[in-house]
Structure 1
Amino acid sequence: MPDIDTPYGKVDAEALQALQEAFDTFAILRVLDQLDAIRARCCDPAGLQDDLLRLHGMAHTVINGAALSCSTTGPTLVDQADAIVEELDDWILLFRQAVQVLRQLESLRPGDER
């Protein structure tokens, strides 16, 4: 099938037809919602940045023998690291899912640009 012109450039007509039948454009908005939740978690005062700073302080004390720089109450060094790793693993999964959603739109690339 030939390429066709759209208001946003040429696209592969066959890929367009397939996406019109199966692609949920609201999936892009769901990606946006997930990204916004991650952004909030990264930037909140009690977010990932603070968790990493606390982990650094704990590791710096335990590994380098530095003076205490944060409270000794709360999660242990290992628990703090585990929680951060688990959260980052969850984000990686969300980003991979987002890439899968958005990659479908690459099929619209016109034949002469492949």
Structure 2
Amino acid sequence: MDNRSHHESGWRPIANLTRICREAQPLLCPLQRSDSDDTVETAYGRLDRAALLQAQHTYDTTSLLRMVDDLDAMLAEARAEDGLRDMLLRLHGMAHTAINGAGMTVATGEESLPELAFDTLAELLKIVTMLQGWLRQIEPLEQLTPRNRSHKSPVLHYF
């Protein structure tokens, strides 16, 4: 067996798969030749060929599964006792009493309103940082949009 990498040996996954698909039945083929050399038709729509090749060589799809695990952990932590949900409820109770003169619903003496606001902001910043990392991980998949199609990203450079 040749010790060269796939890239060095000239192995091209799209070209090889396209050739194989031409020989196979069209309905079984995940990639089909497109009208343009710049795009490729897949089971999930027309994609930019260059971006797809880049993704095939560099994108780790398991990062999406890690996001699912991170989301589950974050939601469990947020719902846990003294998690973000409880922090927000305590913060509301304190603010409602201090600002609106409502009756007390949160015990006094444990933490001040500004201290709880600081801790809540810190917890939210952790979540925002995680979500920004997710945006960076998903963005290469958005780049698969064919260049001749104009669409606006729902993310405006992350805030």
TM-score, normalised to structure 1's length? Answer: 0.85
**Counterparts of 1:12 and 1:64, CA distance in 2:** 56
**Counterparts of 1:68 and 1:13, CA distance in 2:** 62
Match of 1:102 among 128, 138, 149: 138
Gaps of 5+ in 2: 1-36, 151-159
| More deviation, 32-41/90-99 | 32-41
**Is the CA contact 2:79–2:86 (under 8 Å) kept in the aligned structure 1?**
no
SS at match of 2:47: strand
State how many pairs are aligned.
114
Match of 1:34 among 70, 73, 79: 70
Q: How far has the Cα of 1:53 moved from its partner?
A: 1.4
Q: Compute the RMSD of aligned alpha carbons.
A: 1.8
1:7 matched to which residue of 2? 43
| More deviation, 37-46/95-104 | 37-46
- Give, as a single letter, the amino acid of the residue that structure 2 aligns with 1:67: G
Q: How far has the Cα of 1:85 moved from its partner?
A: 0.3
Gaps of 5+ in 1: none
**Counterparts of 2:117 and 2:67, CA distance in 1:** 27
Q: How far has the Cα of 1:45 moved from its partner?
A: 5.5
Structure with the larger RCO, 1 or 2 (CA within 8 Å, 6+ apart)? 1
Higher radius of gyration, 1 or 2: 2
Asked if residue 53 in structure 1 is aligned to residue 89 in structure 2, the reply is yes
Match of 1:81 among 106, 110, 117: 117
Q: How far has the Cα of 1:46 moved from its partner?
A: 4.4
Q: How far has the Cα of 1:28 moved from its partner?
A: 1.0
More helix by share: 1
Identity of matched residues, %: 37
**Is the CA contact 2:94–2:105 (under 8 Å) kept in the aligned structure 1?**
yes
Match of 2:102 among 58, 66, 69: 66
**Counterparts of 1:9 and 1:62, CA distance in 2:** 55
